[in-house]
Amino acid sequence: MLILHFIGLALGLGTSFAHAFFDPLISKMEKEEATKFRLQVMILSKMGYAGITLLIVSGIYLILPYWPTLPDNPLLIIKLILVFILCILILFIGRGTQKARQGNAAEHLNKIEPLGKLTLMISVIIIILAVSIFH
Ligand code: HEM
């Protein structure tokens, strides 16, 4: 399950990093071309969904032994709260992408861009917390 957790991590975090690495490329494009490209690369969201799903499914199994002592483990509680916030952000990004596909793409993509950066930051904090808790 820890191996699945790490595969989920690679898929999930990989999605956030891939989007961050597109930024310099997008900044060199014409506005229309950039919007088209940004819409196309949102296909990567599927990789992100696969990642977070794997993380949650494997995470629920992995947390079973820690569950009875959860109240004594504040860092683990913070990790779970951050995972919850991450899921909410992913839902907002998904909704924004859907709206962008229906029209006013640039406006909706601009709205979800900071959320994408936030998911990357929160994911890194979750990893730092997880390693501090379990090592
Ligand atoms: C419902 C969601 C999640 C739960 C319940 C959960 C729970 C756990 C548990 C119990 C472990 C320890 C496994 C062990 O060695 O016994 C673990 C490890 C880990 N988790 Fe999660 N996790 C979740 C989501 C996430 C997310 C979203 C991330 C990253 C963005 C993440 C990153 C990690 C990392 C890096 C480790 C390895 C820590 C280490 O072995 O040093 N987890 N997780």
How far is residue 76's CA from residue 82's CA, in Å, rounded to a whole number? 10
Ligand 1 centre distance from Cα of residue 72 (Å): 17
| Among 125, 116, 131, residue whose Cα is nearest residue 44 | 116
Tell me the pLDDT tens digit for each residue of 9-43: 999 999 999 999 999 999 999 999 999 999 999 99
| Among 114, 117, 98, 118, residue whose Cα is nearest residue 39 | 98
Ligand 1 centre distance from Cα of residue 24 (Å): 31
3-state secondary structure of 28: coil
Q: CB 44: neighbour CB atoms within 10 A?
A: 16
Tell me the pLDDT tens digit for each residue of 68-118: 999 999 999 999 999 999 999 999 999 999 999 999 999 999 999 999 999
CB 8 within 8 A of CB 53: yes
Most ligand 1 atoms within 8 A of CB, residue of 2, 4, 5, 61 to mutate: 5
Residue nearest to atom 35 of ligand 1 (CA): 127
pTM: 0.93
